[in-house]
Amino acid sequence: MIVVDGRTDREKLVELLQLPEQTHLEFKAELDLTSKQDELNFVKDAVSMANRPPGGYILIGVNDDGTLALTTGTIANRSLFDGARLGDLIRKYIEGEVHVVSQIHEIDGHEVVLIHFPDHRDGLPVPMSKLGQFAGQNGKPVLVFREGDVLVREGAKNTPLRHAHWNDLLSRRDQRLREETRAQVDSLIADLAAALRAGGSAGPALVPLTVEMADEAFVEGVTSYLEADSDIRLRQFLGQTAALVSNPKERSSALDKITILAVQAMYFERDAAAQAAIGRLFDSYVKLGQGDAVARLDVITRVYVLGSLAVRLRQWGLVRDLALRPYPPNGDGYVYSSWIRHGQVDASRAGLFPQGTGGLMISAARDLMRDRRAMRSDVPDSALLDRSDLAHDDALFNSLCQFDILYCLIVAAEGQHHGGGYPAASAMNQDRADPAFEVVAGDAAARRAMFPASSERGIAEAMAQVFASAEGESLGFGGHWWSLPPGAHRFVSKHLGESA
């Protein structure tokens, strides 16, 4: 699993270095763009990557096994890897547009060029527009690609387009066409719902909710139900929608609508509706069969979406509710204290990400929220800034890291079963997660809401345990965790002693 979210910051590089080469990720130990051979092979890789939705990344300075290959200072002319310049290079050989974003990072005494290639906006693959060949050692031309070739990524190699690729290649285009077809109807529905709300209409005049509705219309409809106190209709919709999660074709839309409904209920402080939606997510998770690791990860990613909102809204009771749901709920054998941890383990065992890299779901949740405004009612588009680079105060990413730590703390302190939480935020800079430790240490009301059955000493023990785990895990990601933030350190020292 790789989250192709367009980011090229250092934390994204750390994330990608934990993964093997695959369809959307290519490693190159070195690249000499002054060499015709290297230039043509790079163009072939780039075009093949962009031709396979949702695009992908090429890392220059990384060996096939993921180890770093170029010591700092090896790249003599860094301007050759400027995104605009790389885009100009690629456009010489294709019929169509290409957008390239790149950054050069230094990590552990090495330098790596991180390059992102988004897929094409029209959803169609781009053919090569001219012959690509270079002179071999014996002077004979070596062919890299021909005019008219259509190449796509398949695993860790480039391959000519085949019939089997079309379903995947056109999936996003088909989705966009469906959305465009519904756009006018959904706009009318949104306007109708807003007009009914403004006029004080309720009850029979409420707009019916459907899974197929566009987000804007759906949000207006849900808001109407919340304002009319029509929880029965909302629960009916949740039940019908949760039943669709077991259908792979309907799953994503169904999970999105349940999540958006929960987001709106949380934003308007309608706890009963929010808890009903969370309960339906959990029911959907429980009903998924063995081998449905991808579907389970989809659910847990949306749990992180809701958890991050609960952090931003300071709804600490919902943070606990999201974290502390045992799985399986009625098992006699090995029961995980949190479905979140089960989802991480299940995904790892299924090869969706390597062991100990649960941080990928943090990136996946942020990418989902960035593209779906209805999942972040409190964060406007203007606050997200540049897509390619994470700001230090990125509200979405930071609250995701904080929810991740809070879930680990809650499980450590009050989990009644097995499987302690894994601090996925350890792959990120510690300052993103620090407020989670500080709120537990400094806010008595938050502590009571999240740890109602724990003594302060027990909470301090959980804090020391989770931080030690995160600090240890961070060593595999560059070691950007150092010590508990001041308030948390004082809390732990007060209850466990200065040596803690």
- State pTM to two decimals: 0.88
- At residue 147, does pLDDT exceed 50? yes
HSE at residue 235, side-chain half, CA atoms within 13 A, is 9
Please give the structure tokens belonging to residue 276: 């009903």
* Residue scoring higher pLDDT (62 or 371): 62
DSSP-assigned states of every residue in 368-387: HHHH-GGG-TTS-GGGS--T
- At residue 77, does pLDDT exceed 60? yes
Would you say residue 425 lies in a domain?
A: no
- Which of 182-196, 214-228, 234-248, 316-330 is least confident? 182-196
Q: Taking a C-beta distance cutoff of 8 angstroms, is the pair 98, 79 a contact?
A: no
Average pLDDT over residues 91-102: 88
pLDDT-above-90 percentage for the chain: 58
- Of 327, 352, 355, 353, nearest to 342 by C-alpha is 327
pLDDT at 120: 82
DSSP-assigned states of every residue in 277-331: HHHHHHHHHHHPPTT-HHHHHHHHHHHHHHHHHHHHTT-HHHHHHHH---BSTT-
Judging by beta carbons within 10 Å of its beta carbon (0-12, 13-18, 19+), is residue 232 exposed, middle or buried? exposed
pLDDT-above-70 percentage for the chain: 89
The mean predicted confidence, pLDDT, of the chain is 88
pLDDT at 499: 57
SS (H, E, C) 134-202: EECCCCCEEEEECCCCCEEEECCEEEECCHHHHHHHCHHHHHHHHHHHHHHHHHHHHHHHHHHHHCCCC
pLDDT at 283: 94
- Of 84, 78, 23, nearest to 48 by C-alpha is 23
Q: For 435-468, write each residue's pLDDT tens digit.
A: 999 999 999 999 999 999 999 999 999 999 999 9
Q: For 250-289, write each residue's pLDDT tens digit.
A: 899 999 999 999 999 999 999 999 999 999 999 999 998 7
Tell me the pLDDT band of 181, cut-offs 50, 70 and 90.
low
Tokens 């100009």 — which residue? 88
Would you say residue 442 lies in a domain?
A: no
Interhelix angle 339-349/271-287, nearest 10 degrees: 30
* Residue scoring higher pLDDT (291 or 344): 344
DSSP-assigned states of every residue in 69-123: --BTT--S-GGGG-HHHHHHHHHTTBSS----EEEEEEETTEEEEEEEEEPPTTS
pLDDT at 420: 86
Which residue stretches of 199-270 are H helix? 215-227, 231-242, 248-267
In angstroms, how far apart are the furthest CA atoms of the chain? Answer: 82
pLDDT at 208: 80
Q: For 154-169, write each residue's pLDDT tens digit.
A: 888 888 877 777 777 6
Please state the domain count of the chain. Answer: 1
Q: For 412-422, write each residue's pLDDT tens digit.
A: 999 988 888 89
Would you say residue 333 lies in a domain?
A: no
pLDDT at 390: 82
Q: Taking a C-beta distance cutoff of 8 angstroms, is the pair 298, 253 a contact?
A: no
Tell me the pLDDT band of 291, cut-offs 50, 70 and 90.
confident
CA distance linking residue 155 with residue 169, whole number of Å: 15
Residue 117, beta-bridge partner list: 56
pLDDT at 136: 86
Would you say residue 404 lies in a domain?
A: no
pLDDT at 201: 46
Q: Taking a C-beta distance cutoff of 8 angstroms, is the pair 309, 399 a contact?
A: yes
Q: Taking a C-beta distance cutoff of 8 angstroms, is the pair 280, 238 a contact?
A: yes
Contacts of 123 (CB under 8 A, 6+ apart): 53, 169, 170, 172, 173, 174, 176
The amino acid at residue 417 is: H
Q: Is the peptide bond before 54 cis (omega within 30 degrees of 0)?
A: yes
Strands 55-60 and 25-28: parallel
- At residue 202, does pLDDT exceed 50? no
Identify the domain containing residue 54 by its residue range: 10-166
Q: For 292-307, write each residue's pLDDT tens digit.
A: 889 999 999 999 999 9
pLDDT at 192: 60
Tell me the pLDDT band of 183, cut-offs 50, 70 and 90.
low
CA distance linking residue 136 with residue 425, whole number of Å: 48
Q: Is the peptide bond before 53 cis (omega within 30 degrees of 0)?
A: no
Please give the structure tokens belonging to residue 474: 């961070």
Contacts of 301 (CB under 8 A, 6+ apart): 361, 364, 365, 368
Would you say residue 347 lies in a domain?
A: no
pLDDT at 205: 53
- Which of 55-59, 170-174, 257-261, 306-310 is least confident? 170-174
Tell me the pLDDT band of 204, cut-offs 50, 70 and 90.
very low
Q: For 23-40, write each residue's pLDDT tens digit.
A: 899 999 999 999 999 999
* Angle, CA 364 vertex, CA 359 and CA 370 arms, to 5°: 130
Would you say how long the chain is, in residues?
A: 500
Would you say residue 304 lies in a domain?
A: no
pLDDT at 190: 60
Would you say residue 25 lies in a domain?
A: yes
Average pLDDT over residues 195-209: 59
* Angle, CA 489 vertex, CA 484 and CA 491 arms, to 5°: 135
What CATH number does residue 103 fall under? 3.30.950
Would you say residue 280 lies in a domain?
A: no
- Of 449, 437, 444, 447, nearest to 492 by C-alpha is 437
CA distance linking residue 53 with residue 42, whole number of Å: 18
Average pLDDT over residues 51-55: 89
Average pLDDT over residues 79-97: 91
